[in-house]
Amino acid sequence: MQDDLPLSGLRAICMAINVPGPAAAAILAAQGMEIIKIEPPAGDLTGHAMPGWYAELNRAATVETVDLRADDGKARFQKLLRGADLLISSHRRTALARLGITVPELAALNPALCWVEIVGDTQAPDVPGHDLTYQAAVGLLQGEAMPRTLIADLAGAEAAAGAAAALLLG
């Protein structure tokens, strides 16, 4: 990490899995931000399905396994949040609430914490969605072939990184 980069000295906790969150974190890391990625005990599906992508997206991150359903995992998550400037998540708020993670709890743990939520639709944030769903909805998929590029995932990552920088740098 270089000290002269715009996000040097700042720390993000990335609890997002799959592509958009880790891609956003990688963009922020390239600007000097320290990234700590937490994953469930089963890991990030991207690591199993696309190990090369996973390695590249997380090369600048410190990856920790944290079981947010267990008391020790919750305690570790809270400790990480107390020392963080940014939280990156890709979970629906209802899923986070089941884990005991709510806006009031986050504000109590760290009042200065910025939070970027990567959700499929900001008008319906509790509706699940994925890149393939969005591409199919607008007619970009043909047959059963996988798309060459995960357009929505990568665009979402860019938007999330931009939102994070705006929040952090004002």
CATH assignment of the domain containing 29 = 3.40.50.10540
CA distance 23 to 159: 11
| Gap between the Cα atoms of 16 and 120, Å rounded | 13
Please indicate, yes or no, if residue 79 is contained in any of the structural domains. yes
In a domain, 119, yes or no: yes
Structural tokens at position 136: 């199919």
Q: Is residue 73 part of a domain?
A: yes
141 occurs within a structural domain: no
Whole-angstrom CA distances from 79 to 14, 24, 87, 113, 122 are 14, 22, 13, 13, 29
Residues 19-46: tens digit of each pLDDT: 999 999 999 999 999 999 999 999 999 9
The pLDDT tens digits for 61-107 are 999 999 999 999 999 999 999 999 999 999 888 889 999 899 999 99
Q: Per-residue pLDDT tens for 112-160?
A: 999 999 987 667 767 667 777 777 777 877 777 777 778 888 889 999 9
In this predicted structure, what is the pLDDT of residue 139?
A: 82
The answer as to whether 148 is a domain residue is: no
Domain presence at residue 83: yes
Residue 133 is assigned to a structural domain of this protein: no
Non-local CB neighbours of 127 within 8 Å, separated by 6+ positions: 92, 120, 121
Residue 28 domain-assigned (yes or no):
yes
Higher-pLDDT residue of 164, 120: 164
29 is in which domain, residue-wise?
Answer: 11-126+155-169
Q: Are strands 11-14 and 61-65 parallel, antiparallel or unpaired?
A: unpaired
pTM: 0.89
Nearest-angstrom CA–CA distance, 20 and 156: 6
Number of domains in the chain: 1
Q: Is the Cα dihedral 99, 105, 106, 110 positive or negative?
A: negative
Decide if pLDDT at 55 tops 90: yes
Q: In the numeric block, which tokens belong to residue 23? A: 């891609």
pLDDT of 142 reads: 79
What's the 3-state SS for 61-73? EEEEECCCCCHHH
